[in-house]
Amino acid sequence: MSTTNTSGRRKTAVARIYLSAGSGNITVNGKDYKEYFPTLPLQYIVTQSTEVAGAAGNYDVKVNVAGGGIKGQAEAVRLAIAKALIELNPEVKSALRAKGLVTRDDRMVERKKPGRRKARRRFQFSKR
C-alpha cells in the first residue's frame, strides 16, 4: 500500500496528513501526538476517526499542522484522517458520517467592523 495524503481544516488550522500501513503511530509536527496534544480530550479527538472506522492500530499517520489554536488543530487532524480512511475504504463513510466526522465545520471568527469594539460589541456609552 502506498501513502495516502489528505488535508483537513477547522477555523484557521490546516492539517496535512500522510497515512500509510503501519502499527498505529501518529506523529504530529515531528512529535508523538500524546506529546503535541497533552490533554486526554484532544488525544481522543485525534484518534476518534480511526476508532470509529475500526482501523485503530492499522495505519501510521504523519501530520503537518499549522495555524489556529490547539483545539482547532486537533479537529483539523481528525477530519483529515477521516477523509484518508474514506479514500482507502469507502465502506466506512457511513459510520464516520453518523458520528459527524466527515463534515467540515465551516464556522469562522467574524471580522471586526469599523466603529465597533469587536465584531458586534459596541463601545461603552457614557452619558456625561
Whether 37 is in a domain gets the answer yes
> How many whole angstroms separate alpha carbon 75 and alpha carbon 10?
6
- The domain tally of the chain equals 1
Whether 12 is in a domain gets the answer yes
Return the CATH number at 50: 3.30.230.10
Residue 15 near residue 8, CB atoms below 8 Å? yes
Q: Is the pLDDT of residue 127 over 90?
A: no
Whether 27 is in a domain gets the answer yes
pLDDT in tens, 3-24: 999 999 999 999 999 999 999 9
Question: Which cell numbers in the block locate residue 72?
Answer: 482547532
pLDDT in tens, 104-124: 999 999 999 999 999 999 999
Whether 31 is in a domain gets the answer yes
pLDDT in tens, 42-76: 999 999 999 999 998 899 999 999 999 999 999 99
> By residue range, what is the domain housing residue 66?
4-99
Residue 50 near residue 81, CB atoms below 8 Å? yes
Whether 11 is in a domain gets the answer yes
Whether 24 is in a domain gets the answer yes
The reported pLDDT for the residue numbered 7 is 96
Whether 83 is in a domain gets the answer yes
Whether 123 is in a domain gets the answer no
Band of pLDDT at residue 1, cut at 50, 70 and 90: low
